Amino acid sequence: MAAGVLEGSVSNILEQESLKWVFVGGKGGVGKTTCSSIISILLAQVRQSVLVISTDPAHNLSDAFQQRFTKIPTLVNGFSNLYAMEVDPKVEGDELSGEGLDGFLSELTNAIPGVDEAMSFAEMLKLVQTMDYSVIVFDTAPTGHTLRLLQFPSTLEKGLEKVMSLKNRFGGLLTQATRLFGLGDEFNEDVMLGRLEGMKDLIEHVNKQFKDPDLTTFVCVCIPEFLSLYETERLVQELAKFEIDAHNIIINQVIFDEEAVDSKLLKARIKMQQKYIDQFYMLYDDFNITKLPLLPHEVCGVEALKNFSQHFISPYKPSHVRGTVEELQQRISTLRSQLEEAKLELERLQKGKQIA
């Protein structure tokens, strides 16, 4: 297996100062929320201000950070420049329906599937853009949903074309329809179309940013199993189709061949995982591939996230006892660097205590 010339870490993301949007996505349960939380913690160390957003209706940033978040960006406990928010792209921020256009809008959304979601996503982006964060990390919902979000600009464009052609064909009929729904003159078709147009401009603007690799990147999270490999390939291809940059893969839940592994079952799993890990390296030799160890416990709360974050920066090295002199030397150097990290962490904690 080639270790690859690329660094096995996410350091490249931290070094890319121009980055504005970081999407983190992958199959259900592989560790998207854990990874996006940690990436945002790491970014907060090098960037002025960071916002992490969950667009997953299951909302689990709150679980990861052990703090309740809402659709309003909230400072994460223990940080001065890291904010989190949780939105549901299906129901949140739909100001149009909130202003009495319900009937008409639902007619419209029936005609153009996805337009309501597109509009609330656009609203959310608009809001976020005015807030001036240096970088925004998205903890996205499982694969299909994310790709739909990224398709919204074209969905909306198609929808608008449809409405325009309807308008041209039926002339004043839409106006009559709005009257019929009792919406009054202020909600006539021109107002409606004006708003859709405005939304379209905004979403086009955002879409341009999403397609700019200087500004946007997508981090694919997966686990070393067949289905996940398959899904990752699908995701990578879809992203290429949408012209969205991706050059990081995080392989989570890797069981390393530690001294402690004596179980036959685990050994078999390790072998199976290795097969898929090799395939990841073969398929994605131009990606930064970061491997994360499977822990015996969950990654919950800021401390646990911070602890786990070291593996995002320096590749995890298992602790072998058996083996060659080189392996022992490697182990000693790993232990040394872990000790150094622990010392630094301790110093940081003690400093924090003094301040507090």
Ligand X SMILES: Nc1ncnc2c1ncn2[C@@H]1O[C@H](COP(=O)(O)OP(=O)(O)OP(=O)(O)O)[C@@H](O)[C@H]1O
Active site residues: 56
Residue 34 labelled as part of a binding site: yes
Between 155 and 309, CB nearer to Mg ion? 309
Looking only at residues 109 through 168 of this chain, which bind Mg ion when binding is defined by CB under 5 A? none
DSSP string, 187-210: GSHHHHHHHHHHHHHHHHHHHHHH
| Helix, strand, or coil (residue 244) | coil
User: By CB under 5 A, which span of 53-61, 111-119, 264-272, 326-334 interacts with Mg ion?
Assistant: 53-61
| Nearest alpha-carbon partner for 46 in 7, 72, 19 | 19
Rounded to whole angstroms, the Cα distance separating 119 from 109 reads 10
Residue 140, judged by CB atoms within 10 A of its CB (0-12, 13-18, 19+), counts as buried
Between 38 and 199, name the residue whose CB sits nearer to Mg ion: 38
- Return the exposure string of 28-52: e unless at least 16 CB atoms fall within 10 Å of the residue's CB, then b: eebbbbbbbbbbbbbbbeebebbbb
Query: What DSSP character marks residue 321?
Result: S
Stretch that binds Mg ion, among 8-16, 60-68, 212-220, 271-279 (CB under 5 A): 60-68
Q: Does 164 bind ligand X (CB under 6 A)?
A: no
Among the listed ranges 28-36, 142-150, 176-184, 210-218, the one in contact with Mg ion (CB under 5 A) is: 28-36
Q: Which of 294, 306, 310, 314 binds ligand X (CB under 6 A)?
A: 294
Q: Which amino acid is at 260?
A: A
Query: Binding partner of residue 25 among Mg ion, ligand X, none, CB under 5 to 8 Å per kind?
Result: none
Among 56, 86, 116, 123, contact with ligand X (rule: CB under 6 A): 56
By CB under 6 A, residue 240 contacts ligand X: no
- Sign (positive or negative) of CA dihedral 147, 113, 87, 30: negative
Q: Which residues of 257-272 are buried (b: 16+ CB within 10 A; e: fewer)?
A: beeeeeeeeeeebbee
What does 299 bind: ligand X, Mg ion, none (CB cut-off 5 to 8 Å by kind)?
Answer: ligand X
Query: Could you tell me how many residues of this chain bind ligand X (CB under 6 A)?
Result: 19
Taking the C-alpha atoms of residue 19 and residue 134, their distance in angstroms, rounded to an integer, is 8
Q: Is 225 annotated as a binding residue?
A: yes
The answer to whether residues 156 and 118 touch, using CB atoms and an 8 Å cutoff, is: yes
The one among 12, 16, 60, 307 contacting Mg ion by CB under 5 A: 60
Pick the closer one to ligand X by CB: 187 or 218: 218
The annotation places the binding site at 27-34, 225, 252
The site for Mg ion (CB under 5 A) is made up of 32-33, 60
The site for ligand X (CB under 6 A) is made up of 28-34, 56, 58, 60, 142, 252-253, 292, 294-295, 298-300
